[in-house]
Amino acid sequence: MKILVTGGLGFIGSHTVVELQNEGFEVVIVDNLSNSSINVLDGIEAITGKRPIFEEFDLRHKPKVQDFFQKHADIAGVIHFAASKAVGESVAEPLLYYENNLGVLVYILQELKKKEGANFIFSSSCTVYGQADQMPITEAAPVKPAESPYGNTKQVGEEIIRDTCKVNPELKAIALRYFNPIGAHPSGKIGELPIGVPQNLVPFITQTGVGLREQLSVFGDDYPTEDGTCIRDYIHVVDLAKAHVAALQRLLEDKNESNYEVFNLGTGKGSSVLEVIHSFERVSGEKLNYKIVGRRPGDVIQAYADTQKANKVLGWKAKSSLDDAMKSAWEWEKIVRSSN
Ligand SMILES: NC(=O)c1ccc[n+]([C@@H]2O[C@H](COP(=O)([O-])OP(=O)(O)OC[C@H]3O[C@@H](n4cnc5c(N)ncnc54)[C@H](O)[C@@H]3O)[C@@H](O)[C@H]2O)c1
């Protein structure tokens, strides 16, 4: 079965393409390389022994999206990763984010709606919950006002899909709310490739570990948590990738209970910033240079998932520990640096 993976050369997309090909799916990737490298195709091929079909174009170009779906009329499902994801940039350039994250979503849904049956998986985020009132966070927790245009694109994106599914019973969709994806493929062939200064904790840690960054700033140690630093749910990207295959199979096998469903994807375990640093030091044997600085605006105190719905309904569970994920991130960082 042929599956379109938009943004399939990116961090989560590339790991998902590997898992899809391992399960025998034929994958077509569309990516404009705005935040990825063409070399990722080699990595995917080296791991799976198969080179996915690749079409390089910008999905903001509506006629190209239309032509694509005409050419590939046999697409059985779409996993839509392509988006812009830098929170700070979204504050400075909101229209770029609304165009890329919502305009493109609309173009794809317009094409899927024309098909006799279509299966759609959307990359959403735990940012939709903001600072949730209760931990762990279930899918029933209310969506809180977004802190940034990026966060808003995930909330509105979910609403667009929900409203479209309501009036198009032939369209089936699942929104996956990721917690904090980290790590890299154990083969060392693909991983996260942040352009410029990393926005996320783990790539910043590993880049500091290899000496590319001088020091990690820990934003605040006076939060109401055990060690005073913020708590997140860090999930190994390979576990996350496997959840996409499980979600897609649920739709392809008509096992879904309604034509729009939402699942949290996390480990269910919260880890503080200091715990992540200690995990890095344990698996790398390196001492990390970090300092505590003031709080950063917009950071929630804690967010970790209640994963029961995904565990029971999707039959999927995250398997890797924080140490496993940190080890893979560290190995990947060393490979990237030695090849530069
Ligand atoms: N990484 C995270 O922490 C995280 C957390 C929650 C949700 N998400 C969401 O998951 C998805 C994938 O995230 P990622 O970390 O793999 O990001 P990424 O930037 O590594 O991958 C996105 C890919 O999409 C491509 N792309 C972007 N705009 C495009 C366009 N207009 N046309 C064609 N290709 C385009 C980029 O070149 C890139 O390869 C995004 O929707 C993101 O918002 C990510």
Average pLDDT along the chain? 97
Q: Which of 31, 85, 93, 235 to mutate to test the pocket of ligand 1 (most atoms within 8 A of CB)?
A: 85
Q: What is the mean pLDDT of residues 291-310?
A: 96
Q: What is the pLDDT of residues 152-194, one digit of tens each?
A: 999 999 999 999 999 999 999 999 999 999 999 999 999 998 8
Residue 36 in contact with ligand 1 by CB distance below 6 A: yes
Q: How confident is the model at residue 280 (pLDDT cuts 50, 70, 90)?
A: very high
- Whether 55 shows a pLDDT value over 90: the answer reads yes
Q: What is the mean pLDDT of residues 251-269?
A: 98
pLDDT, residue 196, reads 87
pLDDT, residue 28, reads 98
For ligand 1, the distance from its centroid to the CA atom of residue 92, given in whole angstroms, is 18
Q: Is 304 a catalytic residue?
A: no
Q: What is the pLDDT of residues 94-110, one digit of tens each?
A: 999 999 999 999 999 99
pLDDT, residue 298, reads 86
For ligand 1, the distance from its centroid to the CA atom of residue 66, given in whole angstroms, is 21
Q: Which of 97, 107, 129, 150 is catalytic?
A: 150
pTM above 0.75, yes or no: yes
For ligand 1, the distance from its centroid to the CA atom of residue 44, given in whole angstroms, is 17
Which 3-state string (H, E, C) describes the chain? Answer: CEEEEECCCCHHHHHHHHHHHHCCCEEEEEECCCCCCCCHHHHHHHHHCCCCEEEECCCCCHHHHHHHHHHCCCEEEEEECCCCCCHHHHHHCHHHHHHHHHHHHHHHHHHHHHCCCEEEEEEEEHHHHCCCCCCCECCCCCCCCCCCHHHHHHHHHHHHHHHHHHHCCCEEEEEEEECEEECCCCCCCCCCCCCCCCCCHHHHHHHHHCCCCCCEEEECCCCCCCCCCCEECEEEHHHHHHHHHHHHHHHHCCCCCCCEEEEEECCCCCEEHHHHHHHHHHHHCCCCCEEEECCCCCCCCEECECCHHHHHHHCCCCCCCHHHHHHHHHHHHHHHHHCC
- Whether 339 shows a pLDDT value over 90: the answer reads no
Q: What is the pLDDT of residues 26-40, one digit of tens each?
A: 999 999 999 999 999
